[in-house]
């Protein structure tokens, strides 16, 4: 009996010792579990052993948003909950995913120069885009078919954007309507545009977005037909579910690879895409026509009554042409490495695009941003804001709206920290003087 009491006392001491660890100083993987255990009063054998068992069985995968140390903690949580094909769709790049990896690795080649003895008590992370102030430079990039990740899809993301004060962009092939998403966001969202090969469809999408109050149309130009998304195709092969009830078409939309289920062409594929409801899609064969050129941009510029941005510009020459054609802004993007296997990260394309626009229009960059320090580096190169795609989709898949909010909060916390460490009290103070390339 005395031996049993001694063991219980030892375990209680162990819990108190570990609870004082720096690992538990904030919301992290262990903090939530320990806090709950200790708050219940004296630890019993059963509680202690149960906690250890749950920790061991988790295999390091978080089970609630507050357990995450960083946004990468949400990726395995999303993988655990999603069907293989759905996670493969979210994860895939092109060929062997080299460009997707390059986007991330590009940030590791940039160092931050920290300044000292600056009063950094008050940090202002807000930015102004086309006359609208946002709490943070972190933008929710368009991600298609988000109900494949969570039943509430884009509406849950919009609610998270509203809660945290972030700009959201909505995909043309979203699984929620722009009207529902705008209502959830509490403010108009930007509409991303896949123009298709039929002008009347392009115009109808634009006009519906404008009628819903969207202040900006974001034309995507980097998604040529034929990208070889091997990770997606391989994940489809191991997914043994019967998918024909949801996927009524063999049309894969952005990459014609191995068909998943059913037939029906683009019209059947688009049947579950609210932004395309009611449109004549009988002649649509591609979300982005292979013959699209700058004449199309001119025609679109003459049609769009709100701001017009181009997403997918990665060179100085195209940035200059965009300015010449009256475009209001650019997004440096390679579709998260899902469009082509150039092996060039967007952060390395950003400087020449900034040079090409010569300060005349704002530039946003996405691709590979996983840390607040990544956000800082992009801003230092001259970006007006940065976009995240996969991270908020991981959060959505794993935990719905709370997961998205947690992803945003972690990135904001990390950005605030590096701004203080670098001595920059506001976003406009973050310049190229604060970054330098790593020596090889």
pLDDT band of residue 269 (cuts 50, 70, 90) is confident
pTM for the structure as a whole: 0.84
Residue 4 has pLDDT above 90, yes or no: no
Provide the pLDDT for residue 30: 47
**Residue whose C-alpha is closest to residue 333's, from 225, 206, 227, 221:** 221
How many residues would you count in the chain? 440
Q: What is the pLDDT of residues 211-230, one digit of tens each?
A: 999 999 999 999 877 688 99
Q: What is the pLDDT of residues 148-191, one digit of tens each?
A: 999 999 999 999 999 999 999 999 999 999 999 999 999 999 99
Q: What is the pLDDT of residues 59-82, one digit of tens each?
A: 689 999 999 999 999 999 999 999
SS3 154: helix
CA dihedral angle for residue 173, residue 191, residue 103, residue 255, rounded to 10 degrees: 20
Query: Per the residue annotation, which of 86, 166, 247, 335 is the catalytic one?
Result: 335
- Mean pLDDT estimate for the chain: 87
Distance CA 235, CA 157 (A): 25
Do 209 and 192 meet the contact criterion of CB atoms below 8 Å apart? no
| Residue ranges in 192-345 assigned as alpha helix (H) | 199-211, 230-238, 265-270, 294-303, 316-324
| Residue 335 annotated among the catalytic residues of the structure | yes
């Amino acid at each position: 009996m005395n031996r049993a009491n001694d063991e219980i006392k030892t375990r209680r001491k162990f819990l108190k010792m570990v609870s004082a660890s720096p690992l538990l100083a904030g919301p992290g993987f262990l903090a939530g579990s320990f806090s709950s255990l200790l708050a219940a009063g004296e630890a019993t054998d059963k509680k202690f052993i149960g906690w250890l068992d749950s920790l061991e069985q988790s295999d390091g995968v978080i089970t609630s948003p507050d357990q995450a140390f960083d946004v990468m903690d949400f990726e395995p949580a999303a993988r655990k909950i999603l069907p293989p094909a759905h996670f493969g769709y979210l994860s895939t790049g092109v060929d062997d995913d080299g460009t997707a990896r390059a986007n991330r690795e590009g940030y590791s080649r940039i160092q931050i120069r920290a300044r000292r003895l600056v009063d950094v008590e008050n940090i202002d992370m807000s930015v102004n885009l086309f006359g609208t102030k946002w709490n943070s430079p972190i933008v929710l990039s368009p991600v298609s078919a988000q109900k494949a990740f969570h039943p509430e899809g884009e509406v849950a993301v919009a609610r998270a954007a509203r809660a945290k004060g972030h700009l959201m962009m909505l995909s043309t092939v979203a699984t929620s309507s722009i009207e529902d998403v705008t209502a959830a966001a509490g403010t108009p969202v930007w509409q991303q545009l896949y123009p298709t090969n039929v002008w009347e469809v392009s115009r109808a999408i634009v006009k519906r977005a404008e009628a819903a109050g969207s202040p900006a149309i974001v034309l995507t130009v980097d998604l040529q037909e034929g990208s070889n998304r091997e990770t997606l195709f391989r994940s489809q092969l191991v997914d043994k579910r019967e998918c024909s009830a949801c996927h009524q078409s063999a049309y894969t939309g952005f990459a014609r690879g191995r068909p998943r289920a059913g037939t029906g062409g683009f019209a059947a594929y688009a049947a579950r895409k609210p932004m395309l409801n009611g449109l004549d899609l009988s002649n649509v064969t591609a979300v982005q026509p292979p013959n699209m050129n700058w004449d199309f941009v001119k025609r679109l510029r003459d049609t769009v009554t709100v701001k017009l941005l181009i997403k997918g510009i990665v060179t100085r020459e195209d940035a200059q042409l965009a300015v010449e054609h009256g475009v209001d802004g650019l997004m440096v993007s390679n579709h998260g490495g899902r469009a082509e296997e150039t092996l060039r990260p967007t952060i390395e394309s950003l400087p020449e695009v900034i040079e090409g626009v010569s300060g005349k229009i704002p530039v946003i960059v996405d691709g590979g941003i996983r840390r607040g320090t990544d956000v800082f580096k992009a801003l230092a190169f001259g970006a007006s804001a940065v976009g995240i795609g996969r991270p908020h989709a991981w959060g959505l898949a794993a935990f719905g709206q709370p997961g998205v909010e947690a992803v945003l909060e972690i990135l904001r916390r990390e950005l605030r920290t590096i701004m203080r460490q670098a001595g920059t009290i506001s976003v406009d103070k973050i310049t190229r003087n604060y970054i330098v390339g790593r020596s090889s």
